[in-house]
Amino acid sequence: MTTDNPEIANEQVADQALTVEDEQESFDGVHNTDSVERVHNFTSRFLPYRRDLVVYLPPDYEENEERRYPTLYLHDGQNLFDPETAYVRGKDWRVDETADALIRAGEIEPLIIVGIFNTGEHRLEEYTPTADRKLGGGHAELYGRMLVEELKPYVESRYRVLPGPAYTGLGGSSLGGLATVYLGFSYPEIFGKLAVLSPSVWWDNKAILKIIAKTRPKPRLKIWLDMGTEESKTGLRDANLLRDVLVKKGWLPGDDLHYEVIPGGKHEEAAWAARVESVLRYLFPPR
Q: What is the pLDDT of residue 20?
A: 34
Model pTM score:
0.89
Cα–Cα dist 178/8, whole Å: 14
pLDDT of residue 121: 92
pLDDT at 3: 35
**Res 94: pLDDT:** 93
Strand partners, 227: 261
pLDDT of the residue at 33: 58
83 occurs within a structural domain: yes
Q: Give phi and psi for 98, each to the nearest 5.
A: -65, -45
Range of the domain at 189: 9-283
What's the chain's length in residues? 287
The number of folded domains in the chain is: 1
1 in a structural domain: no
Q: Establish if 176 belongs to a structural domain.
A: yes
4 domain residue, yes or no: no
The CATH number of residue 277's host domain is 3.40.50.1820
pLDDT per position in the chain (287 positions), as tens? 333 233 444 444 343 333 333 333 444 445 555 589 999 999 999 999 999 999 999 999 999 999 999 999 999 999 999 888 877 778 899 999 999 999 999 999 999 999 999 999 999 999 999 999 999 999 999 999 999 999 999 999 999 999 999 999 999 999 999 999 999 999 999 999 999 999 999 999 999 999 999 999 999 999 999 999 999 999 999 999 999 999 999 999 999 999 999 999 999 999 999 999 999 999 999 98
How high is the pLDDT of residue 35? 84
In a domain, 261, yes or no: yes
Q: What CA–CA distance (Å, rounded) separates 154 from 132?
A: 32
Q: Is residue 278 part of a domain?
A: yes
